[in-house]
Amino acid sequence: MDSDRMYKVYRWGVTAGRWVLFGLVSFLILFPVYWIFISSITPPGELFKTPIDYVPDHPTLSSYQFLIENVRLLSKIGNTIVIIGVTLVVGTLFCAMGAYAFARFRSRGISLAFAFIVATMLIPEVVTARPLYEFMQKVHLFDTYQGLILLYISAIIPFTVLILRNFVGEIPESLEEAAAIDGANFRQRLFYVVLPLMKPAIATVCIINFITCLNNFFTPLYYSNGIQVLSVAIVQLPLRDNMYGVPWDLVSAMGWIILLPIILFVAIFEKQIMDGIMAGGVKA
């Protein structure tokens, strides 16, 4: 009986420790997000008062109204939706077809090409910034939607191809052989057999790439002047009363606008993200 009681106490202690650790980690992650939100709905004059109010006394949406009226927030949201939407559709389609080719065809050249694409993930953006900047100007793609979309697509290609290629490698080739026996040509086998089976992995990379593109700060800041997206708008907020003061209420509101879609995507598609990464990341 003593051993059973000690075991139960041990199990209770382990469970309690896990919940304490879970609560601590959750607090460290969620409290900054909560603080950004309450700062965005707190009047500027009450942001730095003491004692600190963890629940605003006079919540207001004036910061969001100011962003809409004076910072062209809706225009930035529209630019973000257009650029990221086209990037996800076009980039995912081409990466899916490329991943199929890398998984099904075997040759030294194809293996080198795949290794080269994956190796580009190790190159920091700042290394290629100067020559790429000059190239974009020479081909008249600087500060254009087409140029930004191409840059966004090039940024998501290595990760997307890596995940989808490994996922395609797990699909039995016998399914394609059976479709070929039934008279399906190469295009039909690709679009009607393989791609439908890739839906979990495609959904996963689309979600992760959406978050990556939304957080992309360097590309729209460096390769564009007139076209503004949400990720760079946070550094272009106007100063209001004090020219040396940071408008923390506006910064918090803009930060929350950027964070909210990411939080919603991760909360809704968390299972698909983890399943897709595990399915596509088993082999390299």
pLDDT in tens, 232-269: 877 777 666 554 567 788 888 888 888 888 788 777 77
Task: Determine what percent of the chain is predicted with pLDDT higher than 70.
Answer: 90
Q: Side chain identity at 118, as an amino acid letter?
A: V
Q: Which CATH number fits domain 70-280: 1.25.40.340, 1.10.3720.10, 2.170.120.12, 3.40.50.261?
A: 1.10.3720.10
Neighbours of 243 (CB within 10 A): 6
Q: What's the CA gap between 125 and 215, in Å, rounded?
A: 14
The total number of residues written for the chain in this structure? 284
pLDDT, tens only, 136-181: 999 999 989 999 999 999 999 999 998 888 888 888 888 888 888 8
Token pair in block for residue 124: 């920091």
Model confidence, pTM: 0.78
Q: What's the CA gap between 264 and 257, in Å, rounded?
A: 11
Domain-wise residue ranges, the chain = 2-40, 70-280
Q: Looking at the predicted structure, is the pLDDT value of residue 281 above 60?
A: no
Q: What's the CA gap between 67 and 62, in Å, rounded?
A: 9
Q: Side chain identity at 146, as an amino acid letter?
A: Q
Token pair in block for residue 43: 């009047």
Distances (CA, A) of 167 to 102, 174, 203, 233, 283: 11, 16, 12, 37, 9
Rounded to the nearest 10°, the torsion over CA 110, 212, 22, 53 is: 170
Query: Tell me, what's the pLDDT at 284?
Result: 43
Token pair in block for residue 19: 């919940």
Query: Tell me, what's the pLDDT at 283?
Result: 46
